[in-house]
């Protein structure tokens, strides 16, 4: 059994999609981030960073439970454990790891900054808003160029690179730039990925 510590956010959906894809049994612990439930000692004991998504695998390696935090590490762990959605060859694996890192450390922070300055900030600072809007545009252009060249993000196969990126196309993009009209390759790919039943189920967790 796996405990999934999550919330209804783009990052949370990445892990629920993966758990649905591999068909593992899991229990959902849903945190109200706006009420800072993620900063309570019970959750800090699971993940000292105090952010979602995190899992605790009660059937971890060597029969001991294992906690893992963060979209890229959790998806990698579950792909390794299940033997699914991660190529075996070094070139294929490296491409997937590269996309995991791009999404977690380039695209994620760009959209987080965009949200902070457009939505959360009590004072709207035009320079900061423009900076993050432009950064998001650049990141989307990178994904668009890649999907113009291959069916899935890291090549011909559906992998955890697609799982980590899908919520960007259907959640984050809705906030900025609003739609995929200027990104037809992302739209084509999002429609393909969005037809997978496990993706549809994962996008409804937490319900
Ligand atoms: N690098 C992390 C980012 C996780 C993240 O940004 N989590 C947000 C929700 S989407 C969070 O828990 N925010 C609450 C907080 O920081 O207090 C990942 O890739 O999973």
Q: How far is the CA of 52 from the centre of ligand 1 (A)?
A: 5
Go through the domains of the chain in sequence order and give each one's CATH number: 2-85 (3.40.30.10), 90-196 (1.20.1050.10)
Centroid of chain to Cα 93: 18
**Alpha-carbon distance 31 to 44, whole Å?**
12
For residue 97, the model assigns a pLDDT of 98
pLDDT tens column, 73-93 = 999 999 999 999 999 999 999
Q: Where are the beta strands (DSSP E) in 85-188?
A: none
* Predicted TM-score (pTM) of this structure: 0.97
> CA angle at residue 178 from 5 to 187, to 5 degrees?
80
Structure letter (DSSP) for residue 146: H
> CA angle at residue 91 from 88 to 94, to 5 degrees?
85
Residue 82: its H or E element:
helix 71-82
pLDDT tens column, 130-177 = 999 999 999 999 999 999 999 999 999 999 999 999 999 999 999 999
> CA angle at residue 188 from 185 to 189, to 5 degrees?
90
For residue 131, the model assigns a pLDDT of 98
Nearest CA to ligand 1 atom 20: 70
For the chain, give the percent of residues with pLDDT over 70.
Answer: 100
Mean pLDDT on 180-191: 98
Q: Is the CB of 6 under 6 A from ligand 1?
A: no
pLDDT tens column, 13-41 = 999 999 999 999 999 999 999 999 999 99
Average pLDDT, the chain: 97
Q: What atom of ligand 1 comes closest to residue 103's alpha carbon? A: 19
Residue 2 near residue 58, CB atoms below 8 Å: yes
pLDDT tens column, 112-123 = 999 999 999 999
For residue 50, the model assigns a pLDDT of 98
User: Max Cα separation, the chain?
Assistant: 53
For residue 15, the model assigns a pLDDT of 98
For residue 99, the model assigns a pLDDT of 98
Q: What atom of ligand 1 comes closest to residue 12's alpha carbon? A: 10
Q: Is the CB of 202 under 6 A from ligand 1?
A: no
């Amino acid at each position: 059994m796996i405990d999934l510590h999550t919330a209804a956010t783009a990052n949370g959906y990445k892990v629920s999609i993966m758990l649905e894809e591999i068909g593992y049994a899991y229990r959902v612990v849903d945190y109200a981030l706006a009420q800072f439930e993620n900063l309570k000692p019970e959750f800090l004991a699971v993940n000292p960073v105090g952010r979602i998504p995190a899992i605790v695998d009660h059937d971890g390696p060597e029969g001991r439970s294992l906690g893992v935090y963060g979209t890229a590490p959790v998806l990698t762990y579950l792909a390794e454990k299940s033997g699914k959605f991660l190529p075996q060859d070094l070139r294929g694996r490296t491409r997937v790891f590269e996309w995991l890192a791009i999404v977690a450390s380039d695209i994620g922070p760009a959209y987080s900054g965009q949200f902070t300055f457009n939505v959360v900030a009590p004072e709207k600072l035009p320079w900061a808003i423009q900076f993050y809007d432009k950064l998001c545009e650049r990141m989307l252009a990178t994904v668009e160029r890649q999907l113009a060249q291959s069916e899935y993000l890291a090549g011909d196969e559906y992998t955890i690179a697609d799982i980590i990126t899908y919520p960007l196309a259907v959640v984050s993009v809705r906030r900025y730039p609003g739609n995929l009209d200027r990104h037809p390759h992302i739209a084509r790919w999002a429609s393909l990925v969005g037809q997978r039943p496990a993706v549809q189920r994962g996008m409804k967790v937490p319900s």
